[in-house]
Structure 1
Amino acid sequence: MEKFMIIIIIFSLVFFLYNKIRFWRTPESLLKQIYQSQANLSLGFLMLAFGINLFVNPRSAFDTIIGIIFAVVGAFNIFHGYRAIQHYLPQLEKN
């Protein structure tokens, strides 16, 4: 389980950096919003996986509390990143 979470953390970090670089290099504002939403979604997966990893393999009570906080904030980012992507993609298809 721990190795699986580490793989998810690494892939999420790579996708986050990839989308952030695409966000910085894109001049069009609608595409910028889509890339930002995808970066938020990747960041959410990163934080959720990191929180679950801390929650499942705690070393102390502090790790458990931080793991729960990271998991909640990560789930919040995933939810809002997904909602933003669903909002912006139909606008891109209209153009």
Structure 2
Amino acid sequence: MVYLNFLFVAGIVASLVFYFYFKTKQFRSTLPIRRKWYTAKAGVSLAAFLIFFGLNAIILYPDIIGFAIAAVFIVLGAGLGINNYKRMRHEGRYVHEEYELNK
């Protein structure tokens, strides 16, 4: 269980690092589609954070309230992740085209 907890904490830290990385790239981007693409990527990272946080809560609080709170985090993270993954895939198709048009 200790190794699993360490794995989830590493996932939490990595997802937060990627979230802030993509948010920084979003603010620095000048092209609108690329900005939306980075927003969707940051949303996927935030969803991963919520899922890892929920899984870690199951290990730390193994009672009915801990499971309920973890289920809420996991369901919200999964919904957010699916939505932002679809947005990321859709807008990713147009990033290169927008770059070529705005050279």
Query: Please, what TM-score do these two structures have when normalized by structure 1?
Result: 0.91
User: Matched residue pairs, number?
Assistant: 95
1:87 CA drift (Å): 0.4
Structure 1: where are the runs of 5+ without partners? none
Say if 2:51 is the partner of 1:34: no
1:45-84 alignment to 2 at 5 Å?
Answer: 45-58=48-61, 60-84=63-87
* Distance in 2 between residues matched to 1:21 and 1:83, nearest whole Å: 21
1:13-24 alignment to 2 at 5 Å?
Answer: 13-24=16-27
Runs of 4+ in 1 over 3 A off after TM superposition: none
Structure 2: where are the runs of 5+ without partners? 99-103
In the other structure, the counterpart of 2:95 is: 92
* Distance in 1 between residues matched to 2:32 and 2:91, nearest whole Å: 11
1:92 CA drift (Å): 1.7
Cα deviation, 1:11-38, whole Å, max 9, x if unaligned, reads 0000000111111111211010000000
In the other structure, the counterpart of 1:2 is: 5
Larger Rg: 2
Root mean square deviation, CA, Å: 1.3
Matched-pair identity in %: 23
1:58 CA drift (Å): 1.2
1:94 CA drift (Å): 3.0
Instruction: State the one-letter code of the partner of 1:50.
Output: F
Query: Please, what TM-score do these two structures have when normalized by structure 2?
Result: 0.85
